[in-house]
């Protein structure tokens, strides 16, 4: 079974530029998560989708971050414009069904973003 795929793996941009990340979850997984992990910290949930609807985006900086999950499968996360403090690893995860929060999450390898 293929795991969660993410691209690109690395991205370096100047501040104020825009960037987009792509995630392909495990086939059949209804729930998709985007996390931001700053160096030395744990992952922070940015947004959670169930199929193509948003379950939780309370910690998504909506003035600059946006995400979509068209057709309930792939997802993209965009930052526009980027700030220095956005430098982090962006992790995508998926789970089979959102049984409360008991479902195991499967993580992709992440995209390491550096904003100069």
Partner 1 sequence: SQQGEEDPQALSIQEGENATMNCSYKTSINNLQWYRQNSGRGLVHLILIRSNEREKHSGRLRVTLDTSKKSSSLLITASRAADTASYFCATGGGFKTIFGAGTRLFVKA
- For the record, the structure tokens of 68 come out as 């979509």
| Phi/psi of residue 48, nearest 5 degrees | -130, 130
Q: Is 54 in the site for partner 1 (CB under 8 A)?
A: no
Among 36, 108, 113, 115, binds partner 1 (CB under 8 A): 108
Among 25, 34, 36, 43, binds partner 1 (CB under 8 A): 43
Q: Is 4 in the site for partner 1 (CB under 8 A)?
A: yes
Residue 54, SS3 per DSSP: strand
Q: Is 53 in the site for partner 1 (CB under 8 A)?
A: no
Nearer to partner 1, 40 or 70 (CB): 40
Strand partners, 106: 94
> How far, in Å, are 54, 69, 92, 104 from residue 74 at the CA level?
14, 6, 11, 19
Residues 58-87 that bind partner 1 (CB under 8 A): none
Strand 53-56 with 44-50, pairing: antiparallel
The answer to whether the beta carbons of residues 22 and 74 sit under 8 Å apart is yes
Task: Find the part of the chain contacting partner 1 (CB under 8 A) among 14-22, 63-71, 74-82, 106-114.
Answer: 106-114
Among 54, 55, 97, 116, binds partner 1 (CB under 8 A): 55
Residues of this chain that bind partner 1 (CB under 8 A): 4, 35, 40-45, 48, 55-56, 91, 93, 98, 100-102, 104-110, 112
């Amino acid at each position: 079974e293929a795991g969660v795929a993410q691209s690109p793996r690395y991205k370096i941009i100047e501040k104020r530029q825009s960037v987009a990340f792509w995630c392909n979850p495990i086939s059949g997984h209804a729930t998709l998560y985007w996390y931001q992990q700053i160096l030395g910290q744990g992952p922070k949930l940015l947004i959670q989708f169930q199929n193509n609807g948003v379950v939780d985006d309370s910690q998504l900086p909506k003035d600059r971050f946006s995400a979509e999950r068209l057709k309930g499968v792939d997802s993209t996360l965009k930052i526009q414009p980027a700030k220095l403090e956005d430098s982090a690893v962006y992790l995508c995860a998926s789970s089979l069904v959102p049984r409360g929060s008991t479902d195991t999450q499967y993580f992709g390898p992440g995209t390491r973003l550096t904003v100069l």
